[in-house]
Structure 1
Amino acid sequence: MPLIESWVINDDNPVPVLSEMVLEALRSSIDSGQLETWLTSSSGRSLAFVTNTERAMMMLLEEEGDPGENAVDLGIE
């Protein structure tokens, strides 16, 4: 059975963000100078998006204290 969860962007807004709107929300954050964005799921997981505007890293944490898993583009030198 697939896990269904909702996500909110940690800016004190409790309204879940639709998957179609995440990219727009991240771009808006970056445009306003916020280079780190955290999302929290209804199941307690956290997703971090960090960028320097040229490269980005995403990290998924299952719970607080979890070392996390990250996404890396191996094609970049």
Structure 2
Amino acid sequence: MTEEEVSCLGKDRYPTRRAAKKDASRIRRTGGPNLRPYPCRYCGRHHIGNRPGNATYTRRGTPLQELIQP
């Protein structure tokens, strides 16, 4: 997979930071992880993800570095 595929594909896309923040808050209220909204440099929309320092760096159980092809 390319860095773009790992970073963007398969993630929910939100049209605004506000929409992403609202969903992150809903996830927290229901016992989920503390996520934050961030703009995507590939699709131009927003995703939600782990806060810096708390990321698992895995997708579907595989470390990101194993998914990214040089």
TM-score bin (small chain) = 0.3 to 0.5
What TM-score does the superposition give when structure 2 sets the normalisation length?
0.36
Highest CA radius of gyration, 1 or 2? Answer: 1
Identify the structure with the greater helix proportion.
2
Return the TM-score normalized by structure 1.
0.33
Greater relative contact order, per chain length (Cα 8 Å cut-off, separation 6+)? 2
Larger relative strand fraction? 1
